Structure formats: structure tokens, C-alpha cells
Amino acid sequence: MGSPASNGVIVAELQTRPGSAAAAGRPDFTRLDAALAETSSAMDKILDELLPRPHGRHARVQEAMRYAVFAGGKRLRPFLVATSASLFQVPQRHSLRVAAALEAVHTYSLVHDDLPCMDDDVLRRGKPTTHVQFDEATAVLAGDALLTLAFEILAEGETHPSAEVRAALVAGLAKAAGSEGMVGGQMMDMQAPDETHDADDVVTLQRMKTGALFEFGCEAGAILGQAGGKAGDTLRLYARDFGLAFQITDDLIDTLGDAGTAGKSVGKDKDQGKATLVSIHGIEGARAEAERLAARAAGRLSEFGDEAALLRVLPYWLIDRDR
């Protein structure tokens, strides 16, 4: 596919401003920033509606669930669901419920990932991690509760009138989050300090640990729209490139950033001796690979025309971020 500068369709679809990234051959992110903010606001509302209100003697675990979910974050996965679903004219209420389920699974994974038995992090999104704010047992239970809530949401009739569609969403998210997806990738990541990984191994690890939920987020739009296999395959491949570019950027932030800006601990991969595409290719090589993946991801969406403009520009926004 073409380089960022050669993807003229993106620049043409989005207004540019003097001195912006687009003026240098990169897209302007004004429309995308507004769309991300709109999705984030909508997600906060529906998550507030769907998460249980703390009550009774078990209120503490529900408080921890809400603390983790509303600790901030970019809501990228919900944005992928909502935006991919819009390609197929899916009612917003349906896509937001699926997006909320996906965000619940993602948040559960962060809560567990931060535990002392895993990454042992004390900072997440600029705030104390859930086990620090509450305690380890409560954090484990809060993560468990968020995971199970996700499937409760997907199974409910309000998510989609078709039981077949709801079953496909449940199966898709379960596979993405399970041992052949996110959990399997996390297992590989935990073993990484004691093993030697080449670039292909790192790509596999990241595709499972991080990319699987991105892939489900995009495929979910096609499932909701009952769009058929080809559309889902295209969106999955887009998300695969997107997810790897996301992880390379995360690794660059971990290498070059500071905790105050990143909102989380940095430098841990190097300290633990974990191989990343940054450590394998070097900083400039990793940046070049992220650029290549962003261009390829954007190029995959040509069949969707102007309707996919925001999804096309998203990978470039991703690799320009600092947190």
C-alpha cells in the first residue's frame, strides 16, 4: 500500500489546517478527535447505565468495577465497534451495547494485568491501579464481574433482536478473550522474560494479547449488520494491522516516554528483558514499521468508500499519540 503521504483520499476527506500534520502530508485529526470524544461520552452514559450500582454488603466489588471502568482511557475498542457498525446502518443503541461489553472485557484484562502476580503495576491511566485503590482480592473479583457482565450484555435481547446474531457476538468475544486470544497472549507475555523471541514471535504475542480484541471490535460491526463474511474479513485484517501499529506505538512510549505523560509506568519491558519490535528493529525501524502498518490498514478499507473515512485516518492518529 502507499505511504501516509500518498494516501490522498484521507487528506481529501478531512479538512486540513496550516501547520497541521496534514499540511506535511499527514491527515488532520479534527473530525476524528470530535468523533472519539462523542463516542467516549456516549460510552460513559451507557456504561453508567449497564454497570450495577453499589448496594448491599457486596457493594465494594461494584465500587471497584466502576472505579476501573471510569478511570479514563481512549475508548478505542468501543470506537471501532460503533464506527464499523455504522458502515452497515446498525442502530446506535445496538452497537453501543456491544461496545460496552467489549470495554468491560478490556477493563477486566487491565485490572488483572496490573496485579502483583502479573505486571505488578501501581499506575493506570494516571490513577492508582484497582488493587492499589482497593485490595488484591477485590480487584480479582471486580475483573471477574466485568468479564461476566460483558456476556450478560451480549446475551440480552436489547443488544440485537436476532438470537443468532447475539450468539455470534458471544462466541466472537469469547474466542478473542480466551486462550487462543488475549489470555493466550498474556501467558506468552508472562513467559517472555525467560525466553528468546524473534520478530515473528513478538507479532504473534501482540496479535493475541492486544490485537484480538481490536479484531473483534471491527468484526462486531459486520456481525451486527449481518453483512456476510467478506466484510468481516476485511475489517478483521484492518484491525490486525491497526492492533500491531498500536502495540508498536505503546512500546515506543514505554521506551521513550515518561509516566506523567503516559499515565502509566514506563520502561518495564526493558527492565524485565522482554523482546519488543522496538528492541528488535530499533526506534526508527519500529517507527517505520508502524507507519507501514498504518498505511496498509487504511488501504484495506477502499471497498467501503467515504463511509470509512474515520477508520482510515485512525491508524495515523494512533501512531502520533504520546499516551
- Per-position DSSP letters for 256-322, written without gaps between them: H--HHHHSS--SHHHHHT---HHHHHHHHHHHHHHHHHHHHHHHTTGGGGGGGHHHHHHHHHHHT--
What is the distance, to the nearest Å, from the Cα of residue 22 to the centroid of all Cα atoms in its chain? 24
pLDDT computed for residue 101 by the predictor: 98
Q: What's this model's pTM, rounded to 2 decimal places?
A: 0.87
Q: Give the pLDDT confidence score for residue 132 in this predicted structure.
A: 97
Name the nearest CA neighbour of 264 among 128, 115, 170, 156: 128
Strand partners, 149: none
Residues 6+ apart with CB under 8 A from 57: none
pLDDT over 50 at 85, yes or no:
yes
Which residues neighbour 231 within 8 Å (Cβ) at sequence distance 6 or greater? 87, 88, 222, 225
Return all residues near 101 (Cβ < 8 A) that are at least 6 apart.
149, 150, 151, 153, 154, 159, 169, 173
Q: Which of 120-134, 249-263, 291-305 has the lowest mean pLDDT?
A: 249-263
Q: Residue 281's beta-bridge partner residues?
A: none
For 224-254, give one letter per residue: b (16+ CB within 10 A) or e. Answer: bbebeeebbebbbbbbbbbbbbbbbbbbbbb
Q: pLDDT per residue over 236-247, tens digit each? A: 999 999 999 999
* The C-alpha cell that represents 135 in the structure block: 485490595
Burial class (CB in 10 A: 0-12, 13-18, 19+), 321: middle
Instruction: For residue 84, give the nearest of 44, 50, 35, 155 by alpha carbon.
Output: 35
pLDDT digits (tens, 9 = 90+) for 194-229: 888 888 999 999 999 999 999 999 999 999 999 978
Number of H helices, E strands in the chain: 16, 2
**Homologous superfamily in CATH for domain 4-319:** Farnesyl Diphosphate Synthase (1.10.600.10)
Has residue 183 got a pLDDT over 90? yes
pLDDT-wise least confident of 4-18, 24-38, 185-199, 252-266: 4-18
Residue 127 CA to residue 281 CA, distance in Å, equals 32
> Residue 16's pLDDT is what?
36
Mean pLDDT calculated for residue range 25-53: 91
Residue 51, C-alpha cell as written in the block: 454497570
- What phi and psi, each to the nearest 5 degrees, are found at residue 263? 75, 15
What is the rounded distance in angstroms from the CA atom of residue 217 to the CA atom of residue 173?
9
Mean pLDDT score, 111-135:
94
How buried is residue 160: exposed, middle or buried, by Cβ count under 10 Å (0-12/13-18/19+)? buried
All three cell numbers of 142: 471486580
